[in-house]
Structure 1
């Protein structure tokens, strides 16, 4: 089941990788990874997203067995503690193993394009499947950021992924859409997609927004010297996007720092209701 906390869901990022753009190497150690996940869960995260392969622009791929070896021990232990987990992977074999280990959601940044067998795994397991807009692997994505109308093209390409998923037997109610901010997108594309998030929401599927610490925020916050602000200095901007995405009706936000975004979505929910209580 897709988590439905009664407000915009907050997905906490757990990168068990040496080279992710923001926190690469911090949680490669099993105990450090487990402690960080437990901390995010204790703060109130609705889902912990465990990934074993960096998808930052320019990143090289790792073998499937390496990816699985990074995430499966983490997922097994956290699932045994009752923590809700998603597997951040583009590989069907890794997703299938992660679900068997206790993950509940597939978060596929390729929307099924990287591995056509992912649709079978989603259909057979019934696991919710996040379909992100994607045009190619990390090493190639920058060259693929060409659009005439980014909002219309992302919308249409995601609808194509939905059609293929449903044709493969995936239940419509199990599908979540993600516009793929930063993936084959330049900053102007990211801002256009956020500004017109209603275009994606109007399709009737839950929408996940993953803006956390991304380059377009660093560019926005560039210093007087013109250098983008480093990832660690983008938390307030990330929380601002979480507030706006939640107020617009997004199902969830995917973030590195769950505390700030939990506060942000609480503010958005109270704003929408006109009061602080439910």
Structure 2
């Protein structure tokens, strides 16, 4: 496992003279935690950062799908599936899906993430043809209606991504980090679209069957670093890549909590950071909320912690509530317009 430097972000002032800006956003840091496998993290001054690591941690992130990443962005989840873990197929019908997409934009979503295959624990795979038949008409209808907001296609399958791009999708959000099919990297590079690479251990059918790690934070970071390198080698610029630690995908409650505590280490990959923990099972386990729809407050709590560590994109079910929380967080932490 590769040793990693994790910035310890702060906001507001006064800022000391040696403060470094985190990823061009509203947060800063002058201390880091040095993580080495098998040892407790060590507190070090940011002045000790190797130059390449310093550059990766501080360089402003380029816009993704037309959205600047100098302030938090909200990605609204639209599952066009009959068996989603959270909304239980509520938006499976075509007209319901389009109406919900419009509603999320009205509630403050910056980007819509449309998926046609459930990736809940234990879910069975969906044929690409059936998946495309669910998502493509929704994307096409949004574009036909003149909706210009960015749309993300949430899929593991390159043929679904291609069809979604043809219908007007702007970003490929892949839970398999472009590793599910041999053609994925080629299709992504040829499209010219940005991508989100997520960590998952196993596939949805097996990922929660007693997952184990020696050091979950370092192992997840190493995996994502390797996938970013593979994407770059295929012709996908690093500035068009988001990374996602995959909360709930092949992780126990303890693993999820450790990843959230150490989330800022992922800034060292030099990519934008997407965080998706909305209504996840671990929130219910910690807070005693077995029903997914009852986990809104817990979802907001972990989303705000992700913002505290510099996450640029929050992937959420509850857009209206998250929009309010993000606006208040931004006003308090120097990225809002309020006085």
TM-score class normalised by the smaller sequence:
over 0.9
Indicate if the aligned counterparts of 2:121 and 2:204 stay in contact, CA closer than 8 A: yes
TM-score by length of 1: 0.94
**Number of residue pairs aligned between Structure 1 and Structure 2:** 273
1:55 to 2:123 alignment: no
Which secondary structure does the structure 1 equivalent of 2:173 belong to? strand
Given the alignment, which residue of 75, 82, 105 partners 1:41?
A: 105
1:70-103 deviation per Cα after TM superposition (whole angstroms, max 9, x unaligned): 0000000112322321000000000011011001
Asked which structure has the greater CA Rg, the reply is 2
The residue aligned with 1:246 is 307
Given the alignment, which residue of 90, 110, 129 partners 2:156?
A: 90
For the aligned residues, what is the CA RMSD? 1.5
Higher percent of residues as helix: 1
Counterpart CA distance in 1 for 2:69 and 2:113 is 16
1:120 to 2:186 alignment: yes
Deviation at 1:254, TM superposition (A): 0.5
User: After superposition, where does 1:28-177 map in structure 2 within 5 Å?
Assistant: 28-80=92-144, 81=146, 82-143=148-209, 145-177=211-243
Given the alignment, which residue of 53, 67, 90 partners 1:26?
A: 90
The residue aligned with 2:16 is none
The residue aligned with 2:285 is 219
Counterpart CA distance in 1 for 2:89 and 2:334 is 41
Deviation at 1:7, TM superposition (A): 2.1
1:11 to 2:90 alignment: no
Indicate if the aligned counterparts of 1:213 and 1:235 stay in contact, CA closer than 8 A: yes
Structure 1: 5+ residue runs without aligned partners?
223-227
Given the alignment, which residue of 296, 304, 310 partners 1:235?
A: 296
Structure 1's 5 and 168: CA in aligned 2 closer, same or farther, altered over 3 A? closer
Deviation at 1:5, TM superposition (A): 6.3
Structure 1's 15 and 270: CA in aligned 2 closer, same or farther, altered over 3 A? same
Indicate if the aligned counterparts of 2:70 and 2:312 stay in contact, CA closer than 8 A: no
1:146-169 deviation per Cα after TM superposition (whole angstroms, max 9, x unaligned): 101000000001101111111111
More deviation in 74-83 or 160-169? 74-83
Counterpart CA distance in 1 for 2:121 and 2:261 is 23
Which secondary structure does the structure 2 equivalent of 1:127 belong to? coil
Structure 2: 5+ residue runs without aligned partners?
1-63
The residue aligned with 1:277 is 338
TM-score by length of 2: 0.78
Indicate if the aligned counterparts of 2:327 and 2:336 stay in contact, CA closer than 8 A: no
Indicate if the aligned counterparts of 1:59 and 1:138 stay in contact, CA closer than 8 A: yes
Which secondary structure does the structure 2 equivalent of 1:39 belong to? helix
1:266 to 2:330 alignment: no
Counterpart CA distance in 2 for 1:217 and 1:20 is 17
